Amino acid sequence: MAIAVLELLTAAGLILFWIGFFTIGLAPKNPPKGYMEYEHSFPLPDGLLAVLLLVAGILLLMNNPLGGKLSLIAAGALIFLGVLDFCFNIQNGVYKISVGDLVTNAFINAWCVGFGIAIIMVMV
């Protein structure tokens, strides 16, 4: 099932993002005021979302009905995350820092909202 595989890949993406953020410095060189405080509030919720996506994806691959229910919970979390990040980025000029920041952040925000909606459409 495509949703299961995409859930597993999204979980891996979340984990890799935070590894990169804390090791190779994925933050902008000149972030807006409050950016680091804002970002540092996300590792725990994103980690929990990654675990939820991993469990949901694995259960879906095993044809366990609980996978669909957990996928719907993950979908809501993904949509919330994407909209919250979008709002912060718009209000604080993150999209204007550089073309790289625009493309990266816009993709992440769109993926979270779009994939969350896709999960709901498939699972309901």
Domain boundaries, position 90: 2-123
Query: pLDDT tens-digit profile of 113-124?
Result: 999 999 999 999
- Cα within 13 Å of Cα(53), Cβ side: 26
Query: pLDDT tens-digit profile of 74-90?
Result: 999 999 999 999 999 99
Which residues contact residue 13 at a Cβ distance below 8 angstroms, ignoring those fewer than 6 apart?
A: none
Total count of domains within the chain: 1
Looking at residue 28, what is its pLDDT?
84
pLDDT at 27 over 90: no
